[in-house]
Amino acid sequence: MRTDRFVSETELIKQRAIASDLALEIRPRGLRFFVETFGCQMNVRDSETVKGWLAEIGYTEAENKESADFILFNTCCVRDHAEKRLMGNIGALKDRKDADPGVIIGICGCMMQQEGMAKKLLKRFPHVSMIFGTNVLYRFPEMLRDVLNGERIAVTDRADDAIAEGLPKLRDNQRSAFVNIMYGCDNYCSYCIVPYVRGHERSRKPEDIRSEMVALAENGITEITLLGQNVNSYGNDGSTGMHFAQLLRYVSDVPGLKRIRFMSSHPKDLNEDVMQAIASLPNVCHHVHLPVQSGNDEILRRMNRKYTREHYCSIISRLRELVPDIEFTTDIIVGFPGETDEAFRDTMSLVEEIGYAAAFTFAYSPRQGTVAARMEDQVPESVKKERLKALNELQTRKTVENNEKYIGHTGEVLVEGFDERGEETMLYGKYQNFKMVYFPGCRELLNRYVTVKVTQSNKNSLLGEMIDA
């Protein structure tokens, strides 16, 4: 085992000391921060850590960029035009910095881990003074101290990938939380930039994961989503003494925890043991987000996904056998290089066959440095667009079909929010298997569990009534 698998305690004590020194100066000044997060749950989680540090350093959260003294963009580079949008956002802050030189503008996240990106941005935007990647969050106090001393910094060391435990976190949500179980990814799907920017796979220790969950539950959190790029390969490097199914069993009895979710799963690693854990552990939710990406074997092979359509479908049917009320969601890419009309039809037929509760669909977009970006038979944008439209139409129809099954269904819902509709307050929340339902109620029920019966299925949503609060 590598000795530098974890950031040392001494290092963390040093960072905390810098934070409390900074707080002596920052707190009396009443300074405020604003963090804008793009991308996936992983980034949402990372932002919670940065916000945690900022709070420890004495900043409070601002409502918007305009009133903030520290502005940070947490970026994503997994798909599309994120770079253009970021440039727009940053460019728009130049006047602000001119008017108020004390304001600090920073950029972090996976886009900053891309080769040459940090340097390019520092050069192009003199009003940006702080750039850092995803692996160095533990050093935030030190980095910020340097910036407050007038330096401009870019810290994006990919090799610096030790796991840091015990970092502060500022979580907004009173009911649900994300907990990382691993970082990075070793799968190298040919379209995907994640392994290049987030580095190789590292799993946290089961004890650290469990104690974070215990602390969250003690603070009233009842729903936890375990996060990883491929949670099913948790512990596969032998460093944790537990595989994912064992981890699920190990954390499933955290007192007060009602719902455990996890994402994302990779079909090549979702084994019988995990399926048995989902079926047998009462608070593991009956929902699996299982990205399929394509329904065509040749495309799956070129994507380096390491499973066939047949294998994927066998997981779905086995899980349905073990857990009859299970729901699946997925990610699908259309227009991957070499995707013929026929290959695309295979994706359509798979979506028809499986009946996902929801699908997140994307037009393939080449990511610099990945294998697929160098493939010759790229698909024209217009074709990708057409296929995406056809696929989305199909999934909408499947969602309606799926919803109809729920009329008359009764179950427990965790209330996530409400919409005021004239006189009436409509609450919404999810059944444990991820299906969302809307129903009249009062806002005091926010974050509580209530029993709801589905009475109607509208196009995109279920409507119901409360049976008991």
CA angle 310, 40, 297 (to 5 degrees): 20
Q: What is the DSSP string of 422-464?
A: TTEEEEEEEETTS-EEEEE--GGGTT-EEEEEEEEE-SS-EEE
Which residues in 166-185 contact ligand SF4 (CB under 6 A)?
185
What's the min distance (Å) between Cβ of 342 and ligand SF4?
A: 24
Selected binder of ligand 5AD within 38, 138, 344, 362 (CB under 6 A): 362
Give the one entry of ligand SF4, ligand 5AD, none that residue 79 binds, where binding means its C-beta sits below a cut-off of 5 to 8 angstroms depending on kind.
ligand 5AD
Chain position whose Cβ is nearest to ligand 5AD: 331
What residues contact 66, with CB distance under 8 A and at least 6 apart? 96
The β-bridge partners of 61 are: 33
3-state secondary structure of 110: helix
Binding site partner of 365, from ligand 5AD, ligand SF4, none, Cβ cut-off 5-8 A by kind: ligand 5AD
Gap between the Cα atoms of 162 and 274, Å rounded: 27
Q: Is 267 in the site for ligand 5AD (CB under 6 A)?
A: no
169-198 binders of ligand 5AD (CB under 6 A): 191-192
Separation CA 16–CA 167 (nearest Å): 9
For ligand SF4, the binding residue among 189, 285, 290, 391 (CB under 6 A) is 189
H-run or E-run covering 276: helix 272-280
Partner that binds at residue 185, options ligand 5AD, ligand SF4, none, CB closer than 5 to 8 Å by kind: ligand SF4
Q: Phi then psi for 26, rounded to 5 degrees? A: -75, -45
What is the nearest approach in angstroms of ligand 5AD to the Cβ of residue 333?
5
Residue span 227-266 as binding mask against ligand SF4, x where in contact by CB under 6 A, dash where not: --xx-----------------------------------x
291 part of the interface to ligand 5AD, by CB under 6 A? yes
Phi-psi region of 238 (alpha: psi -120 to 50; beta: other; left: phi over 0): left
DSSP code per residue over 142-175: HHHHHHHTT--EEE--SS---B--S-------SS
Q: Judge whether 238 and 204 are in contact, CB under 8 Å.
A: no
Shortest distance, position 364 Cβ to ligand 5AD, whole Å: 5
Chain-centre distance of CA 397, in angstroms? 26
If one asks whether residue 333 binds ligand 5AD (CB under 6 A), the answer comes out as yes
C-alpha span between 184 and 163 (Å, rounded): 11
79/345 with CB nearer ligand SF4:
79
Residue 65 beta carbon to ligand SF4: minimum distance, rounded to whole angstroms: 30
- Interface with ligand 5AD (CB under 6 A), residue from 364, 406, 431, 438: 364
354 binds ligand 5AD (CB under 6 A): no
Q: Is 300 in the site for ligand SF4 (CB under 6 A)?
A: no
Interface contacts to ligand 5AD, rule CB under 6 A? 78-79, 191-192, 291, 293, 331, 333, 362, 364-365, 367
